[in-house]
Amino acid sequence: MSVSYRQPGVVLTDRRFTVPLDHADPTGETIELYAREAVASDKADQDLPWLVYLQGGPGGKADRFVGRPAWFGRALKEYRVLLLDQRGTGASTPASRQTLPLRGGPAEQADYLAHFRADAIVRDCEAIRPQVTGGAPWTVLGQSFGGFCTVAYLSLAPEGLSAALITGGLPSLDAHADDVYRAAYPRIERKVVAHYARYPQDVERARRIADHLLTRDVVLPNGYRLTVEAFQSLGIMLGGGEGSHRLHFLLEDAFVRTANGHELSDAFQEQAQGLLSYAGRPLYALVHEAIYGQDARPTDWSAERVRAEFPRFDAAKALAGDEPLLFTGESIHPWMFDCDPALRPLRETAELLAARTDWTPLYDPARLAANEVPAAAAVYHDDMYVDTAHALTTARAIRGLRTWVTDEFEHDGVRAGGPRVLDRLLALARDEA
């Protein structure tokens, strides 16, 4: 039974759907999907076209908006919007350390999670679309990993789309995870260098924190073991528009003087554990590298292996000399499953996924080359999370796709840019710009 309720300027309706776990076995096991329908209050009785929003991730639930902020308010001017919790996230049969043991042991859990990639998300959308739109095609807006899903949508079921809009999410069509991270680490280093140029005082602050962690065993209040590698991973913040400033404010008050000498402050530890924990999005850690798997090659902890090719990220070597500590970015490592109490019970499951050799292609280059769906993509110049060269190569491979390449925004431009990013993409898709 659907339940409707109101926020300022918006009417919201909770929607629930049942879909196959494996779309290749439509009569087999099912899972539940949750989505929130949204329509502007003054348009609630109108027959409007639909826009489905695919959140970034993997493993991120749809935004829980209050009111009509950013792109959401712009979309509500002409669409009914469906905010979909992708399978395994939010209220859509969540996958976590608490729920996955219901599947059985690590092998059964890994087999289950192999069904949580972009192709399955696209099939979910096509399964529920007739119930939502009455069979009419809809517009998809894909942010980050949601953009990966949108490219898969154009490959697998373009007949379901009236338009495809992508922000910071054009994937390589054929790169292995190793190729992705070999391109990523130099890009991450550029972001760190830019941060230190803006906040030169942070060079010494970061080195001091790293030295402290190299010589002590620090466990945060939630049980997270804060190692120097975990501290470096806070560099993921540098991919957002305000990330450099937020990292600076985190570092500036890291220490307090105590009866036992200087220690990391409770305030720093509280913020750090909130930033580092995957309790709210464990799928991000579990299937992150699997989103790049498209053939018989295992991902095999790609980010960890490739990092060894970039010794400047070695904290101990940096501290032994006078080099600044380099933070890392959007990457998942095996040590996370030792440090994070939300991931520890899933370590063996993650190992099995990393070793998996039966990944299938997610994209269809021939179908993309013949694309007829109006499509537009915002490509953020030097995006820390998605390689610009990979994105532009893919853009050229999708017939009719129009790109807007900009350095005005970081990876979160669709949120930080208010209505402007969606305005621009709609104009491009409609040949109005």
Task: Write out the catalytic residue numbers.
Answer: 144, 358, 411
Rounded Cα distance, 149 and 117, in Å: 8
Token pair listed for 357: 């050799």
Strand partners, 320: none
Q: Where are the domains of the chain?
A: 3-173+363-429, 177-354
Rounded Cα distance, 70 and 244, in Å: 21
pLDDT classification of 426: cutoffs 50, 70, 90: very high
Question: Chain-wide mean pLDDT for the chain?
Answer: 97
Taking Cα atoms as reference points, which of 399, 401, 412 lies closest to residue 377? 401
**CATH 3.40.50.1820 at 3-173+363-429, yes or no:** yes
pLDDT at position 418 is: 87
Taking Cα atoms as reference points, which of 89, 158, 113, 123 lies closest to residue 398? 158
Average pLDDT over residues 230-242: 97
Residue 149 has pLDDT above 80, yes or no: yes
Rounded Cα distance, 179 and 225, in Å: 30
Instruction: Encode pLDDT of 157-207 as tens digits.
Output: 999 999 999 999 999 999 999 999 999 999 999 999 999 999 999 999 999
User: pTM of the predicted model, to two decimals?
Assistant: 0.97
pLDDT at position 3 is: 84
Rounded Cα distance, 150 and 168, in Å: 12
Average pLDDT over residues 8-33: 97
pLDDT at position 1 is: 62
Rounded Cα distance, 163 and 174, in Å: 24
Residue % of the chain over a pLDDT of 90: 97
Rounded Cα distance, 334 and 289, in Å: 12
pLDDT at position 249 is: 98
Residue 274 has pLDDT above 70, yes or no: yes
Residue 245 has pLDDT above 70, yes or no: yes
Instruction: Encode pLDDT of 192-204 as tens digits.
Output: 999 999 999 999 9
Answer for the pair 380, 417: CB distance below 8 angstroms, yes or no. Answer: no
Q: Quick count: other Cβ atoms within 10 Å of Cβ 287?
A: 25
User: CA-CA distances (angstroms) from residue 54 to 64, 68, 149, 359, 363?
Assistant: 13, 17, 8, 22, 17
pLDDT at position 2 is: 78
pLDDT classification of 251: cutoffs 50, 70, 90: very high
